[in-house]
Amino acid sequence: MSVLLRVHDLAVSYGHIEAVKGINFHLNSGEITALVGANGAGKSTTLLALSGLLRATRGTIEFDGQDISRLPAHQIVRHGVVQVAEGRAILTTLTVAENLALGAYTRDDKAAIAATLAEVYEIFPRLKDRAGQFAGNLSGGEQQMLAIGRALMAKPKLLLLDEPSMGLAPLMVQEIFRTLVEINRKGLTILLVEQNVRQALKIARHGYVIETGKIVLADSGANLLANPEVEAAYLGG
């Protein structure tokens, strides 16, 4: 299994506060990897650094054999790293179709974009049904589908997901996670940041547990689920 992303000694600070404290991890191509931990542990900060929205204070981020540590966010998207932000960040006054079109802004081939749109509508039939509706009129679950669909329109090699289950009803959470497995089966590598630790580790091949800016455990998703420390801290054991 080839390594798609390798992070070495990554540190990120907000002013004088170091939120991520020199972490190391890697993602294998074609796998789902989960980064889990309590609120404020440094999960979202890590994603923001990977996508170029926060500048690392030290360390390297190597993606697909290239150092992307100092690239601006729009260039990182062009390399194939696309993030679905916490809270979805869809444009509520645009239609579903317009939101999806924005996801393809880095691409020029109209036929290829149309083919990707057809794939997104196949994955999320509800988005096709609501293509002409304003995104602000969608349910929370449908907005999450739209946020993921918009990211897929960029044809990413790596999808970064920040708390996709946040604020969703349990049945919708199950549907979103099933869809992530389906997308992964098509070959897309996924890094999943989640407070819903049980759900995340169920679908992840590998997982990392982060606490106060440091990775404290790394193992397969199944082993982490069965780990008494993880169970006691995150699974209500």
pLDDT tens digits, 78-114: 999 999 988 768 899 999 999 999 999 989 999 999 9
Are 121 and 25 within one domain? no
Are 143 and 163 within one domain? no
What's the whole-number mean pLDDT along residues 116-124? 96
pLDDT of 99 reads 96
Expressed as residue numbers, the domain containing 62 is: 3-80+156-234
What's the whole-number mean pLDDT along residues 154-172? 94
Q: What percent of the chain has pLDDT over 90?
A: 88
Are 138 and 45 within one domain? no
Give the residue ranges of DSSP H helices in the chain: 43-50, 73-79, 96-103, 110-123, 125-129, 140-152, 170-185, 197-203, 221-226, 228-234
Are 67 and 96 within one domain? no
Domain count, the chain: 2
Residue 11 lies in a domain: yes
Are 39 and 151 within one domain? no
SS3 179: helix
SS3 178: helix
Are 97 and 213 within one domain? no
Residue 60 lies in a domain: yes
Q: Which residues contact 184 (CB under 8 A, 6 or more apart)?
A: 30, 31, 32, 190, 203
Are 47 and 134 within one domain? no
What CATH number is associated with residue 184? 3.40.50.300
**Which of 155, 177, 199 lies at the terminal end of a domain, its last residue?**
155
Residue 75 lies in a domain: yes
Are 219 and 186 within one domain? yes
Question: Which among 197, 114, 203, 94 has a CA at the least distance from the CA of 155?
Answer: 114
Q: Is the pTM of this model over 0.85?
A: yes
pLDDT of 137 reads 95
**Which of 155, 179, 210 lies at the terminal end of a domain, its last residue?**
155
Residue 86 lies in a domain: no
**Which of 131, 155, 179 lies at the terminal end of a domain, its last residue?**
155
Q: Which residue has the higher pLDDT, 23 or 195?
A: 23
pLDDT band at 58 (very low <50, low <70, confident <90, very high): very high
Residue 85 lies in a domain: no
Are 118 and 214 within one domain? no
What's the whole-number mean pLDDT along residues 43-57? 95
Are 13 and 63 within one domain? yes
pLDDT of 75 reads 94
> How would you write 9-30 as a 3-class SS string?
EEEEEECCEEEEEEEEEEEECC
Are 7 and 101 within one domain? no
Look over the chain and give the mean of its residue pLDDT values, rounded to a whole number.
94
pLDDT of 98 reads 97
pLDDT of 125 reads 96
Instruction: Give the model confidence (pLDDT) of 12-49 as tens digits.
Output: 999 899 999 999 999 999 999 999 998 889 999 999 99
pLDDT band at 237 (very low <50, low <70, confident <90, very high): low
Are 160 and 112 within one domain? no
Q: What percent of the chain has pLDDT over 70?
A: 99
Instruction: Give the model confidence (pLDDT) of 202-228 as tens digits.
Output: 999 999 999 999 999 999 999 999 999
